Chain A
Amino acid sequence: MTERDIRSEMKDALTEIFNVGIGRAACVLSELIGDEILLTVPQLGMMKRSEFIELAGQMWKMPACIVRQSFNGPFCGDALLIFPARDSLELVRVLLAEPSPIETMTELEREALLEVGNIILNACISCIADMIGHEITNALPVYIDSAPGVLIESLVLAPDWYVIFLHIDFTVQRTNLTGNIVFILDVPAIDAFGTAVMSLIEQFNGEP
Chain B
Amino acid sequence: MKHGAAACPSPKIQYLCHLLEQVIDLADSGVIILGTGREVVSWNAWMSRHSGVSEEDAIGRTLEQLFADKLAPRLLTAISDCLAHKRSHLLSSSLNRQPLPLRNPSDQTSEGAVIQQAVTVKPILTIHGERHCLIQVADVSQAARRERFLRAQTNELSRLVDELETAKDAANRANVAKSEFLTEMSHELRSPLNAIIGFSNLIERGQTGPLSNEQHEFVTYIRKSGDHLLRMITDILDLSRIEAKKVTLDFVNIDIDYFISESIMSVKGLSHARDIVVSYAPPECTLPTVRADRTRLGQILLNLLANAIKYNRFGGGVIVSSGMPMLNRVRISVSDTGPGIPLERQHELFQSFNRLGAEFGEIEGAGIGLALSRNLANLMGGTVGFESRPGEGSTFWVEMPTSGPAPAPNPIDKDDVAPEIPPLPPFTLLYIEDNPVDRRLIEALFQTVPGARLISARTGEDGLRLARQQQPDVILLDIHLPGISGFKTLKQLRAQAETVEIPVLAVSASAHSTDIANGISAGFHSWLTKPIDLTDLMAVLSSILADTGPFKGIPKDIPEEI
Find the residue from A32, A112, A115, A138 having the highest chain B CB count within 10 A. A115
Query: Known contacts A28-B74, A102-B150, A126-B85; is A107 also within 8 Å of B143 by CB?
Result: yes
Kindly provide the distance from the CB of A166 to the nearest chain B CB, expressed in whole angstroms: 20
B118:A111 contact, CB within 8 angstroms: yes
Does B331 make an interface contact (CB < 8 A)? no
Segment at the B interface, from A44-52, A53-61, A93-101 = A93-101
Kindly provide the distance from the CB of A42 to the nearest chain B CB, expressed in whole angstroms: 26
A50 to B398, CA, bound (A): 73
A101 to B156, CA, bound (A): 10
Does B95 make an interface contact (CB < 8 A)? yes
Query: Known contacts A102-B150, A106-B147, A108-B144; is A114 also within 8 Å of B94 by CB?
Result: no
Does A12 make an interface contact (CB < 8 A)? no
Query: Known contacts A101-B158, A106-B150; is A111 also within 8 Å of B85 by CB?
Result: no
B95:A33 contact, CB within 8 angstroms: yes
Query: Known contacts A108-B144, A140-B120; is A115 also within 8 Å of B91 by CB?
Result: yes
B90:A118 contact, CB within 8 angstroms: yes
- B130-151, CB < 8 A from A: 140, 143-144, 147, 150-151
Query: Known contacts A100-B151, A102-B150, A111-B118; is A138 also within 8 Å of B94 by CB?
Result: no
A112:B95 contact, CB within 8 angstroms: yes
Of the candidates B86, B120, B143, the one whose C-beta lies within 8 Å of that of A137 is: B86
A83 to B365, CA, bound (A): 69
Closest chain A residue to B85, Cβ basis: A135
Contacts of A32 in B (CB 8 A): 74, 95-96
A140:B87 contact, CB within 8 angstroms: no
Does A88 make an interface contact (CB < 8 A)? no
Does A19 make an interface contact (CB < 8 A)? no
Does A85 make an interface contact (CB < 8 A)? no
Does B123 make an interface contact (CB < 8 A)? yes
B147:A118 contact, CB within 8 angstroms: no
Of the four ranges (under 10, 10 to 19, 20 to 34, 35 or more), the interface on chain B belongs to 20 to 34
* B113-129 Cβ-contact flags toward A at 8 Å (1 or 0): 00000101011000000
Does B155 make an interface contact (CB < 8 A)? yes
B147:A137 contact, CB within 8 angstroms: no
Contacts of B86 in A (CB 8 A): 135, 137
Does A158 make an interface contact (CB < 8 A)? no
Kindly provide the distance from the CB of B94 to the nearest chain A CB, expressed in whole angstroms: 4
Contacts of B154 in A (CB 8 A): 100-102
A94 to B457, CA, bound (A): 75
B123:A111 contact, CB within 8 angstroms: no
Of the candidates B87, B94, B151, the one whose C-beta lies within 8 Å of that of A111 is: B94
A118 to B91, CA, bound (A): 9
B94:A137 contact, CB within 8 angstroms: no
Contacts of A136 in B (CB 8 A): 85, 87
- B57-116, CB < 8 A from A: 73-74, 77, 81, 85-96
Query: Known contacts A101-B158, A111-B118, A140-B120; is A96 also within 8 Å of B94 by CB?
Result: yes
- A114-138, CB < 8 A from B: 114-116, 118, 122, 125-126, 129, 135-138
Closest chain A residue to B122, Cβ basis: A140
- B146-166, CB < 8 A from A: 147, 150-151, 154-155, 157-158
Could you list 13 further interchain pairs (A-B, Cβ under 8 angstroms) beyond the known A100-B154, A129-B85?
Answer: A31-B73, A101-B151, A101-B154, A108-B93, A108-B140, A108-B143, A108-B144, A108-B147, A114-B92, A126-B85, A140-B90, A140-B122, A141-B90
